[in-house]
Amino acid sequence: MRFFSKYAEMKNILPYIAVVTSMLIWSVSGIAIKFALEVFPPHTMIVVRFSLSVLLMLVIGLACKGNPLLGLKKIERQDIPVFLLCGLSEPCLYYITETYAYKALSSPTIAEALLSTSPLLAPLFAFVFLRERVTLWNIAGIVVSTAGMLMLVFVGASDFSIGSMWGLPLAFAAVSMAVTYTILLKRIPEKYNPFTTVFYTQVVALLFFWPLWGFTDGMHAGGLLPADVPADVWWRACGSIVYLAAFSSVAAFVMFCYTIRRIGVTRTNAFNNIRPAFTALFMYLFLAEQLPAGKLAGIALIIAGLFISQKK
């Protein structure tokens, strides 16, 4: 009996380990993207990244055929529409609207703050589309955590101008796509394991990314790649794309999907606020960026808010 009680406790904590790990992986993605863009144009990087992730999942899925966790399962015809919508919302439309939001908004600080507000929309979307129960603890924790995220982003920032008028609607569209993706993940039947779910949604995204690449970077037939890149920069860019494909696009997405199914949309999305905290810590540890008291207070509020939002 003691073994079974320990097993039950472990099953309860696994979703939280999974979502924190996925946020940890995604918090490094920004640095990896920056390194990859030193060599590869944006659309080329995205296509290579998701082509590698789909190929990796295909190899793993076929090698683990029949495995309940990693085996790929054929999609039944009635479930195809929800997979199509899921892949269209994210990665496809989310990455497009996010990219143009960063371009339209004059300040990366403003962009990061706006694009990190998905926990505020998640309870509304979850209640309207899933009838998911949202408690006052959930709302209070999200508000506290979001306040901490804003402190973390804005402390020490000097540029608060908005930029183009299209920046705000584009940022809202990106956040809406991110939350819509989590809603659709919940709609996908649980007979498909998270690995299968992520594989097919990214295949759908590639169906949209490839034509987009053909009309942008593909028109130059690789001529956009710089010719005089030092070997260390080239290998760093290639290593960054491998990281983005294997960890950000496969491992993190699979763990995020698993957590959505276990604890719901609202409580999972609350963890998005911890990504800027991880990024700030990495910048402090590895790039010697300052971490003043205001940012430390923001990190403390984020963690406190997460504990509050998970209270049943």
Q: What is the pLDDT of residues 169-196, one digit of tens each?
A: 888 898 899 999 999 998 999 899 999 9
- Whether the pLDDT of residue 3 is over 50: the answer is no
CB 177 within 8 Å of CB 117: no
What is the band of 4 on the pLDDT scale with cuts at 50, 70, 90? Answer: very low
Helix ranges restricted to H, 64-115: 80-87, 94-104, 108-115
80 phi and psi, to 5 degrees? -60, -45
What pLDDT is recorded for position 8? 47
Q: Using one digit for the tens of pLDDT, what is the confidence trace for 6-47?
A: 444 556 889 999 999 999 998 888 778 888 888 888 888 889
Q: Higher pLDDT residue, 194 or 212?
A: 194
Mean pLDDT, rounded, for 290-296: 77
Task: Record the tokens describing residue 216, joined without a space.
Answer: 């942008």
Q: Using one digit for the tens of pLDDT, what is the confidence trace for 63-78?
A: 998 898 899 999 999 9
CB 109 within 8 Å of CB 163: no
Please state, in angstroms and rounded to a whole number, the distance separating the CA atoms of residues 310 and 263.
9
Please state, in angstroms and rounded to a whole number, the distance separating the CA atoms of residues 272 and 112.
12
- List beta partners, residue 163: 105
- Which residue's structure tokens are 């920056």? 34
Task: Record the tokens describing residue 253, joined without a space.
Answer: 């997405």
The amino acid sitting at 123 is P
Mean pLDDT, rounded, for 41-55: 91
What pLDDT is recorded for position 141? 87
Task: Record the tokens describing residue 98, joined without a space.
Answer: 């996010």
Say if pTM beats, i.e. exceeds, 0.95.
no
